[in-house]
Amino acid sequence: RLHLVTWNVGTASPPPDVTSLLQLNSLGPTMDMYVIGLQEVNSRITNFLSDLAFDDPWSIFFMAVLSPLGYIKLSSVRMQGLLLLVFVKHIHLPFIRDIHTHYIRTGLYGYWGNKGGVTVRMSLYGRTICFMNCHLPAHMENTEQRLDDFEKILEMQFEEESIPSTLDHDVLFWFGDLNFRIADYGIHFVRESINNKRYNLLWEKDQLNMAKKKEAFLQDFIEGPLQFKPTYKFDLYSDVYDTSEKKRKPAWTDRILWRVKNLCQHASKEGEFSEEEQTISVTLNNYISHMSYGISDHKPVTGTFGLELKPLLLDPLVTLNPEGEWSAEHDVLISYSAVPEFPSSAWDWIGLFKVSFRHVNDYVTYAWVEDDEISSNKDSKQVYMSAAEIPDMGGEFLLGYYSNNMQTIVGISQPFQIQPNRTSIDKDLTQEENSWTQKPDNLESHDEF
């Protein structure tokens, strides 16, 4: 289950709550992956430089929301105001490989990154998936420029030669502030149709819908029905369309589309395809806007999808487990085994992570698989981890094997408990009690305080 968000946040800070945006109170099964595409993230030069050195406020915000629920930030890519974040449940980590990011500028003839696209691609259980967050040129008259820019973004190549082109991925998701407008109809007819919830009257004049009928490169892209109000342009903190002097005509600028490669290639004349050919299918469960968010003049749009695929990968490259009962009072052992074809490296390491870890570098401690190895046989190896590095308070943790060659976690353990270091905790409590019972010297002559 995949939940995809697109939102032009208009340089605003994150809102207090995103429970409904991420459907965290949904009664159905939890999501396996969140993909969050933002546009117009605050990108003043001072902000941008600090965000390059550290995570930007939006990334930190979503990590704080999702990490306690068992999601880690798998990947992110930023180009000025464009930000794309991918979060995934721990259990899928060993089956996600070949993660790569890319961006392409289209603003100012390709020299400026206020417009363009940012992309994250990966292999998921052996199937290739690509996510593309775009911000295309604004204004009613720029339809051709929008189409030209998107075609250019589609043609971009990843730096690694082994990675397929964007359109050669099994599934491609295209979303963002695409800026397509409603042509021909006047503002009064558009607003009246919206007020009467007769959105279907506007669909045939939506510039993207019109372009999909004419442009060959768009015809394989699928979109759910636009059964929500146009998401642009609103007065801030309201659900009232633009009351400024410009009185912008409402439009569905914020969109989510997808393309399934084997549907394009294997569809028969009857519009059906054989069971053998369908390796992956995408089902749209809902496609909605979220009117309660008012931090910008756009409303966020989400799509919730079911991805059904025939996995090419069923076994992790590395299987690892904590040995025996772990305690912060003594050194501990990790056992692991790798499949024969695994490309191990002297720079591989095993990290100890809190269950709510945020990203791959958010480890508590780690052990080098070669330097800290204590035994080895054809079936498994053992690595030790020092008690001095384990948190005294103990708690619930998991282990992750990081492959330097593959630049990702390729094996992860089940969550397990570490018993606290009672000696250290008792010592800390004693010191704390003593600090309260001893009156500080500098207060002796000031009893009135």
Domains of the chain: 2-268+276-309 (3.60.10.10), 318-429 (2.60.40.2840)
Cβ proximity of 116 and 103 under 8 Å = yes
Specify the pTM: 0.89
| Torsion angle defined by CA atoms of residues 235, 298, 2 and 285, in that order, rounded to the nearest 10 degrees | 70
Tell me the C-alpha to C-alpha distance, in Å, between residue 250 and each of 173, 247, 416. Answer: 24, 9, 52
CA dihedral sign of residues 64, 69, 73, 77: negative
DSSP run (H or E) holding 431? helix 422-437
The span from the CA of 22 to the CA of 288, in Å, is 12
Residue 138 CA: distances (Å) to CA of 146, 252, 257: 8, 12, 19
φ and ψ at residue 8, rounded to 5 degrees? -85, 110
CB 355 within 8 A of CB 67: no
Residue type, 111: Y
Spatial distance between the Cα atoms of 75 and 187, rounded to a whole number of angstroms: 41
Structure tokens at 173: 């998701």
What are 234's strand-pairing partners? 241
In whole angstroms, what is the distance from residue 305 CA to residue 78 CA?
Answer: 24
Report H helices in 122-227: 143-154, 187-195, 200-203, 207-214
Q: From the CA atom positions of the chain, what is the Rg in Å?
A: 26
Q: Which pLDDT tens digit goes with each residue over 350-390?
A: 999 999 999 999 999 999 999 999 999 888 999 999 999 99
Residue 402 dihedral angles phi and psi, to the nearest 5°: -100, 125
Structure tokens at 130: 């690509």
Q: Are 355 and 396 in contact (CB under 8 A)?
A: yes
Instruction: Name the stretches of the chain with pLDDT < 70.
Output: 43-54, 107-113, 264-277, 424-449
Task: Name the helix (H) or strand (E) containing 430.
Answer: helix 422-437
Cα 368 from Cα 344, distance rounded (Å): 12
Q: Write the pLDDT tens digit of every residue in 152-161.
A: 999 888 888 8
Please give the Cα distance from 175 to 149 (Å, whole number).
Answer: 14
* Residue 87: C-alpha distances to residues 17, 83, 295 (Å): 18, 13, 23
pLDDT tens track for 127-155? 999 999 999 999 999 999 999 999 999 98
